[in-house]
Structure 1
Amino acid sequence: MKTSSPASPTPGTSRCPATASPSYGRSRHDPHPEAPRRPGHRPGAGPRRGHPRKSPKRQGRHTVQRAARKLFLTSLIALLAVIGFAATPAQAATWSTSAQYGSWSNGGYTLYNDVWGSGAGAQTMWANSYSNWGVWANHPNTGGVKSYPNATKYVGKTLTSLSSVTSSFNVTAPSSGSYETAYDIWDSNNANEIMLWMNYTGAVGPLGSSVGTVTVGGHTWTLYKGSNGSNAVYSFVRTSNTSSGSVNILAVMNYLKNTKGYFGNITLGNVQFGFEITSSSGGLNFTTNSFGVSSS
């Protein structure tokens, strides 16, 4: 697992809104080839009437022009190949959408494009399955979260009735822009929101104030506690960025319940995973290479 130490997040600059329960709805050729040799024309046979022999100077100029055209076409073809390669994931995907709240159900999960913030730009989500999906997003470099494209799994069991809730992930995210790769976990009443920040880049930060550092669920985090006016928000921000790994979600939930006493025996609702994007000016690609949630 590769890790790198990010700059300290700025508390209060980012949040994810309350989402609904399972019904949550928040996507060569050379155009100027040399003319074919005419019938009867032989090299060295002399000029035809009406077609005077070109001077060496003109022939040299035309040779340079042809070479320049071929170089231009070669460069153009290479550029188109690169563009085509970059667009391939979305074009070849099983499903894609550019709709603001486009969604797709697959394998017991639901994927949401979820462009919910004001001032958002264009965003297209694609997927081959719930575990392999991504987005291309072009959101302006302004404040405020623009979107949270995600994959969601509903659990629907109380904490004490669960013996295990784990998740694994592997992502490829850009080095520029402002965003975090995060789990967003809810109780069934949407009264408690638990965010797990696995990595972040740019001017983003969790809601609330720091209440200390804790090692739980297989990671070391800085815990923030706050409220968005509708629900309590508990944000675990990893002390170093990672693009892959696994998380013991039940251990995190029981820490908040038993050790901190922030809530009781709540019913675990939606477990979401995705990219909370504040800005991605010029268009950036975010890819989930693998993801899954297991509970028992």
Structure 2
Amino acid sequence: MPVHRPGTARREHHAAGVLLAVLSALALLLTLPGAAQSADGENVPPRGSARMGQGVLEHDGQGGEPRGGDAVQTEGVDVSSHQGNVNWSALWSSGVRWAYVKATEATSYRNPYFAQQYNGSYNIGMIRGTYHFATPDTSSGAAQANYFVDNGGAWSRDGKTLPGALDIEWNPYGAACFGKSPSAMVSWIRDFLTTYKARTGRDAVIYTATSWWKQCTGNYSGFGSTNPLWIARYDVSPGELPAGWGFHTMWQYTSSGPIVGDHNKFNGAYDRIQALANG
């Protein structure tokens, strides 16, 4: 029979109490915003933190450096709150001539660095536009398009403003396809695009990855004749495109740019970017 020395039980009780307090604190932290967990126990980022291409590395991986070619391409970047205040003069000096800035997400988030990023890119001489990170499980496509236009996604024919972009890709907060069937996803996207055009007069750019598009829209081909394609693929070439598009307009080729942000190539010379801006 074990012998308990005086004070042993007290110390054991105190240690158990400390352990219980630590576990309780950890449990509380996991319930706070930004520290949520999915049903399978994986950490979920805070709402609003999603950025363009967030799921590309996880789902499609990173290949080699992009190959050069005979076609002229023009360097661009996309940024969000993750980049904070951007050094636009350094980007301009490196050859970047166009930019997209995250404006909104869902119907509740606005990029707190939007003014510095959007106005800064314009002031340095870049042609710039804005994008909306879609969350089709939280509200309708029309509601999100209206929120986008009202909070930075509008367009003007000033020769320096690109049409807004719909960032539709893997859901960082849950199921990849936001709990929607392919037909329901296509309907949601159409709702967004139709509303955006009604509000601005422009067809929005669609940013996506081919693998996501196949999985979540059933490789729907109906938007290729109207909406410019911004393809995400971190490899030596844009690769296979989603159904309906015979060519891409923009290509996000890396998430680790030499200065800041994701880097992209416009499929054409600078005057073709001007043409897209002018509508």
TM-score (norm 2): 0.28
Q: Tell me: higher relative CO, structure 1 or 2? Use CA pairs within 8 A at least 6 residues apart.
A: 1
Q: Which has the higher strand share?
A: 1
Larger Rg computed on CA atoms: 1
Between Structure 1 and Structure 2, which shows a larger proportion of helix residues?
A: 2
